[in-house]
Amino acid sequence: MSNTIEIRWHGRGGQGAKTASLLLADVAFTQGMYVQGFPEYGPERMGAPITAYNRLSHTPLRIHSNIYTPDIVVVVDETLIGPVDVTAGLKEGGALIVNSRRAPEEVRAEFPGYTGRLYIIDAKSVSLRNIGRNMPNTPLLSTVVKVSGIMEAEAFFENMRGSFAHKFASKPEVLEGNMKAIREAWEEVVTA
Amino acid sequence: MSRRDRLSGNEAVANAIRQINPDVIAAFPITPSTEIPQYVSLFKAEGKIDTEFVTVESEHSAISATAGAEAAGVRAMTATSSAGFALMHEMLYVVASDRLPVVMAVVNRALTGPININNDHSDSMGSRDCGWMQLYSENAQEAYDNMLMAHRIAEDPEVLLPIMICQDGFITSHAVENIVLEDDETAKAFVGEYKPEHFLLNPGKPVAYGPYGVSPYYMELKRTQTEAMNHAAAVIQKVSKAYGDLTGRYYDLIERYRMDDAELACVCIGSSAGTGKAAVDVLREQGIKAGLVKIRAFRPFPGDEIADALKHVEAVAIMDKTDSFSGNGGPLGAEVRSALYQHKCKAETINYVYGLGGRDVRVEDFYQIFRQLEDIADGEEAPAWRYIGVRER
């Protein structure tokens, strides 16, 4: 199972964490990987904490349980830090990605016991600037792909252009904005 | 040419239905099966199928309309879960005893009390004796494959019984996974045309459906239902073999995973089987002779095959994703034990109730079960049945 990358997303209902996990599964699938993308379902309400998951592997995936020892944790909404133990079970050598506009050391201070890799991306600003709305999942997807190393930058951008062209067939004007958002996110992610 | 894709279990089943292109679908939405009729109605709107889509006011009506259409002489399907399934309960018996080869997609979800939308098998297990065949699926691929095989099994003249194709709610129905889809022509050719010998709208050969069954005849009619179910096992195997020869994906009544020399085994149904297989592989690396039996067909019940698979095993854990509240474990536990007793198998048994209402089932749960089996094989006394994954003091 060591060749399986396990990812856990923490967001709030309505922020697109589930969609992001499905998009990531899509991207990895195009790389010939075996994928799982699934949210944890319950009585969903806008703003309530939700969890979504990905398994990505080069061998068939059989386990159908939630993920307890992720390689990567993505915090879509930083107000969940504290109320939710987002780093629970995060593997030694794993990575934590936080959507935040705060200074890296300030975010780092939120995780006193955590010494592993921490990446900060201001996904809200990137999406507001390029898409015109707070759609953090598109820039975060870019950050996760970069941190996970499942594919190279140009291959990823090319791939996303294809899926955006399909997704936004009826409103091509938003395609370029989304493309700029994933490119900027790829560049702007910082290590804390 | 088959095609690699990534779909949720519900999308997979909906695509199988698109390829089957049934004459009638009558459905009422209920989580987590709602997406199936939703996608099917989209296919209808896009002109990809010419199915008559009947929106009804309840699941009782959904299965009634499906039964009416099937009796009239066409292929009719429906989909449901949980409370919707329970509302069909009365009509499930009518469909089976009228020998209507209806195919129903079931997305297993817990029954209410307290209300819960997540997975267990209490819905379909609650109607296990209604006379329908039941096939269970481990993942989206199996849900798709089972659906493409369903009509050939149900409509076989030796069988003529309805069949439900079950998968685990949310765990597979809403998880996107890799899947291989057959191309439409191949799928359609495999499913074939429906040419019923008897049907209602056939004035040249009149028949009656649903007459009163007086005592001098009722029991013989029930006996013929059992006879049909007795034929079903061989027909499932025959159709599965043909499907395997076509697609390379072979299925049987049960799946034996690393059972050849297994000393300890789990028997389970559905998505947890995959998690169990991963546990078996790890335990095998540690030198523990673990194995797993997955039940694909629960009705007909493959008692002979299960007993054969377990004949050399020292201890076996039988896992029920439903509770019978019998004070004696769950339905799979009872039936597997009955088969083992009948075949004079010597394996020690323990029955686990697990995964109720979406309680997550982890690889670690299987490690714990196999540790218990080791102790039982070493002579430790264990209760006849117990829970796993529950908080209790």
Q: What is the mean pLDDT of residues B304-333?
A: 97
Distance, C-alpha B385 to centroid of its chain: 23
* A188 close contact with B: CB closer than 8 A: no
Q: Provide the residue range defining the domain that includes B311.
A: 254-387
Contact check, Cβ <8 Å, A35/B170? no
* Omega of the bond leading into A49 within 30 degrees of 0 (cis): no
Question: CA-CA distance, B185 to B183, in Å (whole number)?
Answer: 6
Which 270-299 residues of chain B touch chain A by CB within 8 A? 271-272, 274-275, 277-278
* Residue showing tokens 């506009």: A101
CA distance B269 to chain A (A): 13
CATH of domain A5-191: 3.40.920.10
pLDDT of B362: 97
Residues B304 and B212 placed together within one structural domain of the fold: no
Q: Which residues contact B11 (CB under 8 A, 6 or more apart)?
A: B35, B39, B140
- Domain-embedded: residue B163: yes
Contact check, Cβ <8 Å, A64/B139? yes
The chain-wide mean pLDDT, for chain B, equals 97
pLDDT of A170: 85
Residues B64 and B127 placed together within one structural domain of the fold: yes
Percent of chain B with pLDDT over 70: 100
CB B384 within 8 A of CB B350: yes
Among A1, A26, A66, whose Cβ lies nearest the Cβ of B6?
A: A26
Tally Cβ neighbours within 10 Å of residue A69: 12
Question: CA-CA distance, B388 to B268, in Å (whole number)?
Answer: 13
Task: Decide if pLDDT at B347 tops 80.
Answer: yes
pLDDT of B280: 98
Kindly identify which residue of chain B lies nearest to residue A52, measuring between CA atoms. B175
- Domain-embedded: residue B392: no
For residue B376, give both structure tokens: 């039982």
Residues B285 and B190 placed together within one structural domain of the fold: no
pTM exceeds 0.95 for this model: yes
Q: What is the mean pLDDT of residues B314-331?
A: 97
Name the band, by pLDDT with cuts 50, 70 and 90, for residue A1: very low
Q: What digits encode the pLDDT tens for the residues A76-99?
A: 999 999 999 999 999 999 999 999
| Number of domains making up chain B | 2
For residue B153, give both structure tokens: 């099994």
Q: What is the DSSP string of A62-79?
A: ---S--SS-SEEEES-GG
Phi, then psi, of B3 in degrees rounded to 5: -135, 130
Indicate the domain borders of chain A.
Answer: 5-191
**Boundary residue ending a domain (B227, B247, B267):** B247
- Chain A residues near residue B278 by CB distance under 8 angstroms: 1, 62-63
**Boundary residue ending a domain (B212, B228, B247):** B247
The chain-wide mean pLDDT, for chain A, equals 93
CB A97 within 8 A of CB A86: no
For residue A186, give both structure tokens: 């790829």
Q: What digits encode the pLDDT tens for the residues B136-178?
A: 999 999 999 999 999 999 999 999 999 999 999 999 999 999 9
- Domain-embedded: residue B315: yes
Residues B213 and B112 placed together within one structural domain of the fold: yes
Among A36, A62, A68, whose Cβ lies nearest the Cβ of B362?
A: A68
**Boundary residue ending a domain (B216, B247, B278):** B247
- Chain B residues near residue A59 by CB distance under 8 angstroms: none
Q: How many CA atoms lie within 13 Å of B187's alpha carbon, on the beta-carbon side? A: 23
Beta bridge partners of A50: A11
* A37 close contact with B: CB closer than 8 A: yes
Distance, C-alpha A40 to centroid of its chain: 16
Q: What digits encode the pLDDT tens for the residues B67-76?
A: 999 999 999 9
What single DSSP character describes residue B314?
Answer: S
Closest CA to B31 of B238, B124, B170, B235: B170
Mutate which: A26, A63, A159, vs B, most B CBs within 10 A: A63
Alpha-carbon radius of gyration of chain B: 21
CA distance A106 to chain B (A): 35
Name the band, by pLDDT with cuts 50, 70 and 90, for residue B50: very high
| Paired sense of beta strands B254-257 and B264-269, if any | unpaired
pLDDT of A158: 93
* A38 close contact with B: CB closer than 8 A: yes
Percent of chain A with pLDDT over 70: 98
- Domain-embedded: residue B393: no
Residues B149 and B258 placed together within one structural domain of the fold: no
Residues B192 and B270 placed together within one structural domain of the fold: no
Q: What digits encode the pLDDT tens for the residues B208-219?
A: 999 999 999 999
* A36 close contact with B: CB closer than 8 A: yes
Question: CA-CA distance, B387 to B393, in Å (whole number)?
Answer: 12
What single DSSP character describes residue B376?
Answer: H
Question: CA-CA distance, B348 to B350, in Å (whole number)?
Answer: 7
Q: What digits encode the pLDDT tens for the residues B65-98?
A: 999 999 999 999 999 999 999 999 999 999 999 9
